[in-house]
Structure 1
Amino acid sequence: MNLSHCKQRQKLAVDVEAVCRLIAAIQLPSGEIPWSRGDKTDPWDHVESAMGLTVGGFYAQARQAYLWSRSMQRTDGSWYAAYRTGSPSDRTRETNLSAYIAVGVFHFWRVTGDRAFLALMWDTVRRAIEFALSLQRPGGEIYWAISPLGKVDPMALLTGCSSIYMSLRCALAIADELGHRQPGWKAAYTRLGHAIRHRPYAFNMTKSRFSMDWFYPVLCGAVTGADAHGRIQRQWKKFVVKGLGVRCVSDQPWVTIAETSELVLTLTAMGEREKAQIVFNWLTDHVFTDGSFWCGFTFPDMTRWPEEKIAWTNAVVLMAADALFDLTPAARLFSQDGWNGR
């Protein structure tokens, strides 16, 4: 770690090493990263945890996490929605959970420059994206899941589809780097972006109470410019508790560290770095004695809840710190300012 990065970390009021040690301690020998010790693993949060390890320089552990994903992928390109020590505990196959591997693999390559690993993971990424796109509708939206009984659930989620949009963005960048033309993916990406921007009625499972539905269309890069600024401003008071952070659900007095960190990522993606810094500073007091972050807390009583130390919550804090302080070459991963995957 060079001196400039060390100085940046001193400004963060975040113990990067301690946070990564927590995630690494939760990780199983197989590479699987549960939510917390003894808890379930889902494919999306597993990847998010690996991204946090990558930000902190724990490359071997992150690589092992991606290799676990590679080994657990089903023949149709999907993963089950949840596992416990490698055994499926929820056999639902969700499109956004599966597609997110593209974001993690691209992030790892941007940080490490390991092109051989990028090539090794290409088929895993390709099959995951093909699985997600197999449930895309002509209007662009993507159904969220196939049930354990093998039935397609005809529901499209705005947050889930926004996550898939970011996954496609990264998958296309990987394909470009490796010389694999994917015109079908580009067309699907365009249709999905159009649906997110212009067809809100297509997302027929209402989640407007959840803050992720508010900022994910901006975070993923589908909504940009004046539209992005307007979207964030309109619902700021609905979700943001000044001095504390972001509510998970608008009508509940529960602030979560993950949603607050993701808002920081969203604001930096929009170029609102000063506002992002203010929101990030609200997080820094909510830590355990080992330097890792709480999952969330209720207010005004400021009761920590839940008590578990959550791997993916801590990972997204590191990603927010990276976006603010340029800790790695992937700091601009979510940037809307001329992002071209390079």
Structure 2
Amino acid sequence: MISREEAVRTALSIAALQQDDGGVPWPEGHVDAWNHVECLMAMTVAGLTEPVRRGYEWLARHQRPDGSWPMKLAGGVATELGGESNHAAYVAAGVWHHHLVTGDRGHAERYWPMVKAALDYVVGLQTERGEIVWERDAHGRAAAYALLTGCASIHQGLRCGVLLADHLGDPQPHWELAADRLAHVLSAHPEAFADKSRFSMDWYYPVLGGAVRGRQAFELLDREWSTFVVAGLGIRCVSDQPWVTGAETCELVLALDAVGDRTRAAALFADMQHLRHEDGSYWTGWQFANRKHFPHERSGYTAAAVVLAADALQRFSPGSGLFRDIAGTSVSDPEVCGCVERPSFRSAPPG
């Protein structure tokens, strides 16, 4: 475990990366809304009010009229113009998390129009079956396929948006219906998504995002445990490379904590601490065959995942239950999506 003081130091390493315009970049220098929000959430846990304020102003400033954000921005200029659905949805998780941690209703009210436009953009990309395609391109054309990891994150964003809407007295029942339909597809229809099964995120994200709970969650996590978990180091980013990554390990920690498996969660969190730098930041990953940090960088999004995992395990803030408490009921009526039987995750291709 790390102490509260160590978690704050890690959050300060994120604040040190923040650009003058408020964006929190990748090591390569670009900013995207999803990783930016993750970093704001970590700094919110640490009580870094001013960097968080500037970060939400960045989001509001760069949201487009359709509710989306450019896929990548560098120096405040869009360099990739497509709008990813999971980027837009995660903004709702960030604003709801901010409310849970701070109780600041004024902040929630200020950014409610931003959240509302973002989630309406997201549900506009939902297919008849229920999955949500991954982007709308620069010409406004919806993508032809959906991504499982992205949809699992979207599920969390929609659930957070529903809670925020109810809290502010502006219910959005179409978001709840969209989340229910999406949860059903995530839990029952692996064929709805492009095959990215070599990536560990496609393994645990349905649990992390709240779409899968109970016995099915444990079956899902146990199925690929030996594929991705490397004892004493963390989890692989991809199944076919000797490379563990801190962010993915901490997200699995959050998923395990969300289903009450705190023993394995705490052990994995301890295992990945070899990535901690003396200044509180974290190396992105470790190539354990070559015994080198890979890539040779310390990333804000890794530090953010560490802070959120530490908060979940040790209850530093009132927002520590964000990943535990957002599960909802999925739609199981076959007439809703046209399925006759509900295939389980066991029918998905192996990772």
**TM bracket, shorter-chain basis:** over 0.9
| Aligned partner (choices 20, 33, 50) of residue 24 of structure 2 | 33
**Which letter maps to 1:172?**
V
Aligned counterparts of 2:12 and 2:154: Cα–Cα separation in 1: 29
| Aligned partner (choices 163, 173, 176) of residue 183 of structure 1 | 173
For the Cα contact (< 8 Å) 1:269–1:337, is it kept in 2? no
Residue 20 in structure 1 maps to residue 20 in structure 2: no
**Which letter maps to 2:195?**
T
Match of 1:48 in 2: 38
Matches within 5 A, 1:1-342: 10=3, 15-36=6-27, 39-203=29-193, 205-336=194-325
Match of 2:343 in 1: none
Report the CA distance between 1:185 and its aligned residue: 1.2
- Helix, strand or coil for the counterpart of 2:78? strand
Aligned counterparts of 1:228 and 1:29: Cα–Cα separation in 2: 42
Deviations 1:50-86 (A, max 9, x none): 1111111112211211111011100000000000121
For the Cα contact (< 8 Å) 1:20–1:53, is it kept in 2? yes
Aligned counterparts of 1:246 and 1:169: Cα–Cα separation in 2: 27
Moved more, 144-153 or 123-132: 144-153
Aligned counterparts of 1:69 and 1:299: Cα–Cα separation in 2: 37
Query: How well do the aligned residues superpose, as a CA RMSD in angstroms?
Result: 1.7
Aligned counterparts of 1:285 and 1:141: Cα–Cα separation in 2: 37
For the Cα contact (< 8 Å) 1:270–1:336, is it kept in 2? no
- Helix, strand or coil for the counterpart of 1:267? helix
Normalization by structure 2: what TM-score? 0.90
Normalization by structure 1: what TM-score? 0.93
Identity, % of aligned positions? 43
Deviations 1:226-280 (A, max 9, x none): 0000000011001101111010000111100000000100000010011111000
**Which letter maps to 1:320?**
A
- Helix, strand or coil for the counterpart of 2:244? strand
For the Cα contact (< 8 Å) 2:281–2:298, is it kept in 1? yes
Aligned counterparts of 1:121 and 1:28: Cα–Cα separation in 2: 21
Aligned counterparts of 2:8 and 2:323: Cα–Cα separation in 1: 23
Aligned counterparts of 1:124 and 1:61: Cα–Cα separation in 2: 19
Aligned counterparts of 1:338 and 1:160: Cα–Cα separation in 2: 16
Aligned counterparts of 2:161 and 2:327: Cα–Cα separation in 1: 17
- Helix, strand or coil for the counterpart of 1:15? helix
For the Cα contact (< 8 Å) 1:141–1:202, is it kept in 2? yes
For the Cα contact (< 8 Å) 2:155–2:183, is it kept in 1? yes
Q: CA 1:338 to 1:254, structure 2 compared with 1: closer, same or farther past 3 Å? A: closer
Q: CA 1:18 to 1:323, structure 2 compared with 1: closer, same or farther past 3 Å? A: same
**Which letter maps to 2:221?**
I
**Which letter maps to 2:174?**
G
For the Cα contact (< 8 Å) 2:22–2:51, is it kept in 1? yes
For the Cα contact (< 8 Å) 1:224–1:336, is it kept in 2? no
Tell me the matched-pair count: 329
- Helix, strand or coil for the counterpart of 2:65? coil
Structure 2 residue ranges without an equivalent (≥5): 330-351
Aligned counterparts of 1:25 and 1:171: Cα–Cα separation in 2: 29
Report the CA distance between 1:183 and its aligned residue: 1.4
Aligned counterparts of 1:190 and 1:338: Cα–Cα separation in 2: 10
- Helix, strand or coil for the counterpart of 1:255? strand
Deviations 1:281-305 (A, max 9, x none): 0122222231211100101332111
Report the CA distance between 1:143 and its aligned residue: 0.8
Deviations 1:135-159 (A, max 9, x none): 1011110111112233221111110
Aligned counterparts of 1:107 and 1:287: Cα–Cα separation in 2: 25
Report the CA distance between 1:339 and its aligned residue: 8.2
Aligned counterparts of 1:312 and 1:55: Cα–Cα separation in 2: 14
**Which letter maps to 1:176?**
D
Moved more, 117-126 or 182-191: 182-191
